C-alpha cells in the first residue's frame, strides 16, 4: 500500500469522474438554457448543491474543453510570466485612459460593466484548500496568497472590499454581489456574465482543476486589469506570482503543465476580450443619443415590470404582455411609445407617463433621478417632434463574443460526468466520498442528512452534558457573560485543574493506539471552516475571524506549520504510514480504527454546508478549539516524549489554542460578535433561536468526545432514572 510522504508535491488530484444524481441533469440544463446572468446569480447564491456543481463542470468544459495531450516543447514558467507581463503593458494605457474619462456617465457605465468581475475576481482560490488538497506545497503557496488577498482575516482589508470602496469613490454604488438586482444595477452584458460564470465555476471545482486554477490565478493577478482600471496598487507582486508559477512548473509533469498553460492563455484571452468590451462601452455611451438612453433604462427595468401594468395598453397591445416578452425589441418598443398617447401632452404640459413616474403616481420610485431626467427630456422632445424618425440604437455590445461562448456552453457535455445514485457501502466509503466531494457531488444530500441527524441527537447533552469529562454541553440561556463564564468553567474545571503529571506511562503500543484514535480527525484538521469566506459570503466579522482560524490551522501558507503536515510527522515517528486520505488506497488502510469514522464524517458533513449550518459551525468550532487545551494534550505530550515520539502536533495546539488570546478565546468572541450582529440587524428576538443552533453545534462536538456519557444517557433505563 503506497504511503503518503512529505513534502506533498502533487500538482493535480488523481483522475476521477464526476458523479451526480440523475435528478441533477435536468435542473442544470434548465439553468444553462436561461440567461447567463441568471446562471451566475444562481451560482452566487447556491454554494451547497450538486446542481450548482454540475453547472460548474459544464461551464469549465465549455471554456477550457478537454485537456490537451502534451506535444512538442512547452513554454517555460519564465517565458509565460514575461509574455503575460507584455500583455499587461499593452492593456495598461488603455485601462488608464478608461479610468481618466471625464464624462461621469460614460465612466460610470464602464466601471459598472467591470464591477461583476472586479468583485468576484480571483474567487477560484476560495475552496482550493480542503482535505483533498492539503498539505500540498503548491496549495499552501496559493492559500497563503489567498489569505493576503482576503485581508488576513479582516474582510474590510480584503481585495473585494477595497475594490468596492474604489468604485464608490468613483460614484458607483452597487448592492451585494449575490443580491437579486446586482447584475441589473451593474448593467452587466451577457459577455460579462459569462466571464463571471467561468470564474465562479472554477472556484467550485478548483481542487479537481488545480493546474487550471494555478494558471488562472497567476495570469489574472499578473495582468491586474482591475488594479489598473481602479488606480490601485497590486496586492501581489509580479515576482511572488512568478515564483509560484516556477515552483509549480518545476514539479508538474507535462500533462499538468499543459493544463496550466491552457488556463493562463484562456484568462489572458478573456481579459483582452473584456477590455475590448469596456472600450466599446465607453464609445457607445459617449455617442448615445437620447432615445438610446431611454432604451437602456427600459431594458434594465423591463423584466421586473411586465405584470405590474394591469390593463394599460400601448398602440392597442397590453403593456404587461410586451414587457414580459423575453424577445422584446427595445428599439421598436421605444419608437412605439414615442408615438403613443402615453407621451402626448395633456393639461398642464405633462404626459400620462411623466405623471405616472412623479410623486403620487403609480410608478413613483421605480426610476432614479438621472433616469427620470432622461425620460423628461425624451417626453419633451417627443412632444416637440424633434426625435429622429428611426428606431433608436439598441445596446448589443459583446453579443458576438457572448454568442460564441453561449454556443460552447450549450454544446458542453463533459465526458467525465456520470450519473448514479450515491450509496456508500460503509463509513469508510462515505468518508472517502466526503474528502473527494468534488468527484462525488451526489453524496451531498447524504452529508446534509447525516449532519442534521447528529445535531438533533446531540441535544441529548442539553440535559446531561454537565457530566462530560472534557466538555459541558448542558443548556444555559445566552448572554455574552454567561457564555464566557461557561467557557471559563470548562477550561478550569474540566481541562486544567484536573491535570496531574502521569506517574505511570502506558507502554509503547498503548500510546500508539491512543494516537491512532485521534489521527483520523487530525488528518482533516480545520476542515470544519474550510468553506467560510467564499465570494458573497465574506462580510461579517465572524467570517473573517473564522477564516483566520482556518488559516492558522493551515500554517497561513507555510507548509512547515500546516497542521496536516504536523500530524503526518507524528504518525511517521511511530512508524505509521498510511496513504493520503484522498487516495483510493486509504479505503484499505488498516492502521486507523473503523469505529472512529463517525466523528470525522460529522465534521466534513458540517463543513460542506456553510450556509445551512453556519451557526452550528460556530458552536462546533468552540468545542474543537477548546479541546486543544489542558489535561488531555499535556498527558499526550508526556507519553509521546517518554517513548521518543514527535509531540509537535500536541505542542502546536496547546500553544495556538491558548485561552488567553488563542483560538479558544477567539472562538467564544466569534459567537458573541455574531449574535451581536444578529441582534442589531435582525432583532433581539432572533438571538435565541440562533443561539440554540450554535449550542447544538457545540453539543455535536461533545457528542463524539463524550462517547461514554452518551452511551450511558442513551440507554432507556438510565435515561428514565435521570428523568426521575
Task: Give the total number of structural domains in the chain.
Answer: 3
Same-domain pairing of 684 and 615: yes
Torsion of CA 605, 611, 616, 619, to 10 degrees: 110
Mean pLDDT over 599-620 rounds to 98
**Confidence band for 139, pLDDT divided at 50, 70 and 90:** very high
Band (306; pLDDT cuts 50, 70, 90): low
Say what the pLDDT of residue 412 is: 96
Q: Which three cell numbers stand for residue 529?
A: 471552516
For residues 114-143, average pLDDT: 97
Tens digits of residue pLDDT in 247-286: 999 999 999 999 999 999 999 999 999 999 999 999 999 9
Domain-terminating residue out of 253, 288, 323: 288
Q: How far apart are CA 475 and CA 477, in angstroms?
A: 7
Predicted confidence at residue 681, as pLDDT, reads 95
Average confidence (pLDDT) over 83-93 = 98
221 & 177 share domain: yes
CB 478 within 8 A of CB 687: yes
Is residue 704 in some structural domain?
yes
pLDDT band at 723 (very low <50, low <70, confident <90, very high): very low
Q: What is the pLDDT of residue 379?
A: 83
Whether residues 274 and 342 share a domain: the answer is no
At residue 351, the 3 state secondary structure works out as: strand
Estimate the crossing angle of helix 716-723 against helix 707-714, to 10 degrees. Answer: 80
What's the mean pLDDT in 309-320? 65
Q: Is 412 part of any domain? A: no
Cell 506570482 belongs to 241
Residue 400: other Cβ atoms inside 10 A = 9
Q: CATH number, domain at 535?
A: 1.20.910
Whether 6 maps to a domain, the answer reads no
Provide the pLDDT for residue 285.
Answer: 94
Structural domain of residue 579, as residue ranges?
458-723
Q: Are residues 131 and 233 in the same domain?
A: yes
Q: Is 505 part of a structural domain of the chain?
A: yes
Q: How many C-beta atoms lie closer than 10 Å to residue 124's C-beta?
A: 29
**Do 284 and 295 lie in a common domain?**
no
Q: Residue 608: which pLDDT band, with cuts at 50, 70 and 90?
A: very high
Residue 33 lies in a domain: no
Per-residue pLDDT reduced to its tens digit, 529-547: 999 989 988 999 999 999 9
Q: Are residues 221 and 246 in the same domain?
A: yes
Per-residue model confidence (pLDDT) at position 425: 96
Q: Is residue 76 part of a domain?
A: no
CA distance 328 to 27: 26
| Cα–Cα distance list, 478 to 542, 607, 623, 675, 676 (Å) | 18, 24, 16, 10, 11
How many C-beta neighbours within 10 Å does residue 416 have? Answer: 14
For 368-423, what is each residue's pLDDT tens digit? 888 888 888 888 888 888 888 777 888 899 999 999 999 999 999 999 999 999 99
**Confidence band, pLDDT 50/70/90 cuts, at residue 485:** very high
Tens digits of residue pLDDT in 443-484: 999 999 999 999 999 999 999 999 999 999 999 999 999 999
pLDDT at residue 716, as a whole number = 61
What are the pLDDT digits (tens) for 183-230? 999 999 999 999 999 999 999 999 999 999 999 999 999 999 999 999
Percent of the chain whose pLDDT exceeds 90:
76
Q: Which residues pair with residue 419 across a beta bridge?
A: 20
- The whole-number pLDDT of residue 717 equals 43
pLDDT at 336 over 50: yes
| CB contact at 8 A, 602 and 451 | yes
Query: At which residue does the C-alpha cell 468613483 appear?
Result: 170
Is the pLDDT at 657 greater than 90? The verdict is no
pLDDT in tens, 466-476: 999 999 999 99
pLDDT digits 0-9 by tens, 96-108: 999 999 999 999 9
> Distance of alpha carbon 593 from its chain centroid, rounded?
33
Q: Flag whether 327 is in a domain.
A: yes
CA distance 506 to 502: 9
pLDDT score, position 328: 79
Tell me the C-alpha distance between 607 and 601, whole Å: 10
Q: Are residues 139 and 188 in the same domain?
A: yes
What's the pLDDT at 719? 44
Asked if the structure places residue 572 within a domain, the reply is: yes
- pLDDT score for 724: 28
Name 350's Cβ contacts closer than 8 Å, sequence gap at least 6: none
Query: Are residue 492 and residue 597 in the same domain, yes or no?
Result: yes
* Gap between the Cα atoms of 188 and 564, Å rounded: 42
pTM: 0.93
Grid cell at residue 663:
483560538
Closest C-alpha among 672, 543, 519 to residue 599: 519
Q: Are residues 319 and 254 in the same domain?
A: no
Of 412, 424, 597, 415, the closest CA to residue 16 belongs to 415
User: Looking at the structure, do residues 325 and 208 belong to the same domain, yes or no?
Assistant: no
Query: Is the model's pLDDT at 37 over the cut of 90?
Result: yes
Burial class of 467 by CB neighbour count within 10 A (0 to 12, 13 to 18, 19+): middle
Looking at 239, 259, 288, the residue that finishes a domain is 288
Q: Which is it for strands 317-318 and 313-314: parallel, antiparallel or unpaired?
A: antiparallel
d(CA 232, CA 228): 6
Cell, residue 385 = 417632434
**pLDDT (mean) for 23-45:** 96
Can you tell me which residue has the cell 477564516? 547
Map grid coordinates 438533533 to a residue: 456
In DSSP terms, 345 is beta-bridged to: 351
Last residue of a domain, which of 266, 288, 310? 288
* Per-residue model confidence as pLDDT tens digits over 541-594: 999 999 999 999 999 999 999 999 999 999 999 999 999 999 999 999 989 888
Q: Are 280 and 233 in contact (CB under 8 A)?
A: no
Peptide bond into 135 cis (omega under 30): yes
Same domain, 577 and 668: yes
Q: In which band, very low, low, confident or very high, does the pLDDT at 11 lie, cut at 50, 70 and 90?
A: very high
Q: Do 12 and 390 contact (CB within 8 A), yes or no? A: no
Residue 418 CA to residue 171 CA, distance in Å, equals 48
Look over the chain and give the mean of its residue pLDDT values, rounded to a whole number.
Answer: 92
Q: Are residues 282 and 192 in the same domain?
A: yes
- Burial bucket for residue 715 (CB in 10 Å: 0-12, 13-18, 19+): exposed
pLDDT at position 211: 98
Amino acid at each position: 500500500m503506497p504511503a503518503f510522504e512529505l513534502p506533498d508535491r502533487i500538482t493535480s488530484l488523481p483522475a476521477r469522474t464526476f458523479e451526480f444524481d440523475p435528478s441533477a441533469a435536468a435542473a442544470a440544463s434548465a439553468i444553462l438554457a436561461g440567461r447567463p446572468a441568471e446562471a451566475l446569480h444562481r451560482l452566487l447564491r447556491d454554494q451547497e448543491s450538486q446542481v450548482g456543481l454540475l453547472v460548474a463542470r459544464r461551464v469549465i468544459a465549455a471554456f477550457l474543453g478537454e485537456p490537451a495531450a502534451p506535444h512538442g516543447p512547452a513554454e517555460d514558467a519564465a517565458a509565460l510570466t514575461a509574455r503575460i507581463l507584455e500583455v499587461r503593458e499593452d492593456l495598461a494605457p488603455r485601462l488608464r485612459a478608461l479610468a481618466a474619462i471625464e464624462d461621469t456617465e460614460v465612466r460610470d457605465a464602464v466601471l459598472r460593466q467591470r464591477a461583476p468581475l472586479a468583485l468576484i475576481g480571483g474567487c477560484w482560490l476560495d475552496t482550493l484548500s480542503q482535505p483533498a488538497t492539503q498539505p500540498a506545497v503548491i496549495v499552501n503557496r496559493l492559500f497563503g496568497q489567498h489569505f493576503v488577498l482576503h485581508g488576513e482575516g479582516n474582510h474590510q482589508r480584503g481585495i473585494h472590499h477595497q475594490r468596492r470602496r474604489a468604485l464608490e469613490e468613483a460614484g458607483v454604488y452597487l448592492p451585494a454581489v449575490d443580491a437579486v438586482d446586482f447584475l441589473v444595477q451593474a448593467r452587466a452584458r451577457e459577455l460579462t456574465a459569462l466571464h463571471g460564470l467561468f470564474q465562479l465555476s472554477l472556484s467550485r471545482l478548483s481542487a479537481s482543476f488545480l493546474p487550471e486554477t494555478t494558471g488562472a490565478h497567476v495570469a489574472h493577478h499578473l495582468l491586474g486589469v482591475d488594479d489598473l482600471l481602479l488606480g490601485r496598487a497590486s496586492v501581489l507582486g509580479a515576482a511572488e506570482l512568478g515564483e509560484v508559477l516556477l515552483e509549480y512548473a518545476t514539479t508538474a509533469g507535462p500533462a499538468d503543465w499543459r493544463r496550466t498553460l491552457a488556463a493562463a492563455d484562456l484568462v489572458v484571452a478573456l481579459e483582452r476580450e473584456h477590455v475590448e468590451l469596456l472600450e466599446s462601452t465607453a464609445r457607445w455611451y459617449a455617442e448615445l443619443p437620447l432615445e438610446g438612453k431611454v432604451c437602456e433604462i427600459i431594458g434594465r427595468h423591463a423584466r421586473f415590470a411586465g405584470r405590474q401594468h394591469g390593463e394599460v395598453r400601448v398602440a392597442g397591445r397590453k403593456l404587461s404582455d410586451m414587457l414580459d416578452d423575453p424577445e422584446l425589441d427595445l428599439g421598436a418598443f421605444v419608437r412605439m411609445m414615442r408615438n403613443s398617447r402615453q407621451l402626448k401632452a395633456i393639461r398642464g404640459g405633462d404626459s400620462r407617463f411623466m405623471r405616472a413616474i412623479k410623486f403620487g403616481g403609480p410608478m413613483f420610485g421605480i426610476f432614479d433621478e438621472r433616469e427620470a431626467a432622461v425620460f423628461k427630456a425624451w417626453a419633451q422632445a417627443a412632444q416637440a417632434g424633434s426625435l429622429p424618425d428611426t428606431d433608436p440604437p439598441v445596446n448589443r455590445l459583446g453579443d458576438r463574443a457572448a454568442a460564441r461562448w453561449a454556443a460552447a456552453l450549450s454544446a458542453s457535455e463533459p465526458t467525465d460526468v456520470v450519473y448514479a445514485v450515491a450509496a456508500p457501502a460503509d463509513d469508510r466509503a462515505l468518508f472517502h466520498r466526503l474528502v473527494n466531494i468534488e468527484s462525488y457531488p451526489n453524496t451531498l444530500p447524504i452529508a446534509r442528512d447525516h449532519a442534521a441527524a447528529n445535531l438533533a441527537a446531540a441535544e441529548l447533552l442539553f440535559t446531561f452534558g454537565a457530566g462530560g469529562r472534557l466538555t459541558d454541553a448542558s443548556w444555559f440561556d445566552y448572554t455574552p457573560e454567561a457564555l464566557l463564564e461557561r467557557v471559563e468553567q470548562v477550561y478550569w474545571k474540566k481541562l486544567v485543574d484536573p491535570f496531574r503529571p502521569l506517574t505511570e506511562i502506558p507502554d509503547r503500543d498503548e500510546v500508539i493506539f491512543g494516537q491512532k484514535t485521534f489521527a483520523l480527525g487530525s488528518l482533516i484538521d480545520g476542515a470544519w471552516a474550510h468553506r467560510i469566506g467564499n465570494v458573497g459570503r465574506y462580510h461579517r466579522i465572524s467570517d473573517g475571524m473564522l477564516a483566520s482560524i482556518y488559516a492558522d490551522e493551515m500554517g497561513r501558507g507555510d507548509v512547515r506549520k500546516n497542521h496536516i503536515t504536523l500530524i503526518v510527522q507524528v504518525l511517521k515517528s511511530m512508524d505509521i504510514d498510511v496513504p493520503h486520505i484522498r487516495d483510493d488506497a486509504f479505503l484499505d488502510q488498516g492502521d486507523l480504527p473503523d469505529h472512529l469514522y463517525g466523528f470525522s464524517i460529522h465534521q466534513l458533513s458540517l463543513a460542506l454546508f456553510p450556509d445551512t449550518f453556519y451557526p452550528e459551525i460556530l458552536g462546533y468550532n468552540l468545542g474543537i478549539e477548546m479541546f486543544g487545551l489542558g489535561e488531555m494534550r499535556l498527558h499526550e505530550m508526556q507519553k509521546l516524549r517518554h517513548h521518543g515520539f514527535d509531540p509537535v502536533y500536541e505542542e502546536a495546539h496547546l500553544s495556538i489554542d491558548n485561552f488567553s488570546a488563542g483560538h479558544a478565546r477567539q472562538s467564544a468572541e466569534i459567537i458573541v460578535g455574531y449574535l451581536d450582529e444578529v441582534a442589531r440587524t435582525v432583532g433581539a428576538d432572533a438571538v435565541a433561536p440562533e443561539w440554540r443552533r450554535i449550542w447544538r453545534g457545540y453539543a455535536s462536538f461533545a457528542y463524539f468526545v463524550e462517547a461514554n456519557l452518551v452511551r450511558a444517557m442513551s440507554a432507556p433505563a438510565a435515561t428514565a432514572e435521570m428523568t426521575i
